[in-house]
Amino acid sequence: MTARSFASDNGAGIHPRVLAAISAANHGHASAYGNDEWTARAIAALRDAFGGGAEALLCFGGTGANVVALATVTRRYDAILCADSAHILNSECAAVEHYCGGKLLPVAAQHGKLSPALLAPALGPTRGVHHARPRVLSLTQPTEWGTLYSVEELRALCDFAHAHKLLVHVDGARFANAAAALDVSLAALSSQVGVDVLSFGGTKNGLMGAEAVLVFDPALAEEAAYARKQSTQLASKMRFIATQFEAYLNDELWRTLAAHANAMAARLAALLSDVAGLEFVCEVETNQLFPRLPRAVLETLQQEFHFYTWRENDAVARWVTSFDTSHDDVEHFAAAVRRALHARA
């Protein structure tokens, strides 16, 4: 068995309750493409959790979910404003531009976070049809730097966007980690603050390739359905994705798993808080940590543990904890980091 690593929450397996649900759904035949009882129940559960008369569309990829969400709310001549750290900008092979057309407009963010003040200069007068039409503000919650928008910050951003005729998309590949960290409901971070469309991740938190797009304006439901099929995210054997969401939402399993991953990150940060030679470049608020270490120490650690160097120029690494990261994993890793730093001192 491959050891648990701190490279990505995608490295973790499938939670046993989710795997059991898949197995339980594996009998007989079911209608394809979501016309089955599991999908009906999963959609009802998602609607309950997100409120606001949400329409829920199940998908199987995070990039795909972002494409479906953004294709639902844009035309080929539209611009999508996003943080300069956004996954849709840097890590999705221009999938959004490819499928949606239009343009991504990066705005310099602070530790992944945007604010009305940072966005305002990007929304000055345009030359009309000579510019792509600013149409969507895409936020990531939690951000690519593991930081969080509070409920109030999200509401202010949604109000600001709507006042500028922008719709709001949230890339919530780790949305569960945000809701768990802030101790709020999924609805409190989405429909209740004015988010228009959300990519709700599951894969990074114990599901097996299962994501959902939540569309909060019922008038856009048909657009979303076509967008999902055209962008190849309509699964034929949908029941096996749907059953995962049922298990995930039941008793808020998502919260238990995300809270654990967050707690393991907090523990790791605490164990290393007083070590000379290491500093976290931003606050550890969810399950991602970004330590700056002497390059040689990074390289030593990477011989034993798998994790990525996130920013090459000043040797910032990314460590990610998962729903199955154990206390022992964290203690063992923290001790290795301390040893490597000591050896350099």
Ligand X SMILES: Cc1ncc(COP(=O)(O)O)c(C=O)c1O
Cβ–Cβ under 8 Å, residues 316 and 289: no
Interface positions with ligand X (CB under 6 A): 61-63, 66, 87, 140, 144, 171, 173, 203
- Closest to ligand X by CB, 201 vs 337, is 201
Burial (CB count within 10 angstroms: exposed 0-12, middle 13-18, buried 19+), residue 338: middle
Residue 296 to residues 283, 315, 331, 339, Cα–Cα distance (Å): 24, 9, 22, 13
Provide, rounded to whole angstroms, the least separation between the CB of residue 12 and ligand X.
13
- Closest to ligand X by CB, 278 vs 307, is 307
Single out the residue of 78, 69, 105 nearest to residue 216, CA to CA.
69
Provide, rounded to whole angstroms, the least separation between the CB of residue 82 and ligand X.
11
Which residues are bridge partners to 169 per DSSP?
138, 197
Provide, rounded to whole angstroms, the least separation between the CB of residue 287 and ligand X.
11
- Closest to ligand X by CB, 215 vs 341, is 215
**Spatial separation of the C-alpha atoms in residues 131 and 208, rounded to whole Å:** 40
Provide, rounded to whole angstroms, the least separation between the CB of residue 91 and ligand X.
6
- Full DSSP string of 185-236: -TGGGTTTTT--EEEEE-GGGT-SS-EEEEES-GGGHHHHHHHHHHTT---T
Provide, rounded to whole angstroms, the least separation between the CB of residue 16 and ligand X.
22
Cβ atoms within 10 Å, residue 22: 18
- Closest to ligand X by CB, 36 vs 285, is 285
Q: H/E element holding 263? A: helix 253-271
Residue nearest to ligand X (CB): 62
- Closest to ligand X by CB, 203 vs 300, is 203
**Spatial separation of the C-alpha atoms in residues 18 and 251, rounded to whole Å:** 13
Burial (CB count within 10 angstroms: exposed 0-12, middle 13-18, buried 19+), residue 303: exposed
Provide, rounded to whole angstroms, the least separation between the CB of residue 224 and ligand X.
18
- Full DSSP string of 84-134: TT-HHHHSSTTHHHHHH-SEEEEE--BTTB--HHHHGGGGS---GGGSPEE
- Closest to ligand X by CB, 66 vs 191, is 66
Task: Output the six-digit token pair for 204.
Answer: 């990074």
- Closest to ligand X by CB, 173 vs 340, is 173
- Closest to ligand X by CB, 110 vs 338, is 110
Provide, rounded to whole angstroms, the least separation between the CB of residue 171 and ligand X.
5
Provide, rounded to whole angstroms, the least separation between the CB of residue 71 and ligand X.
15
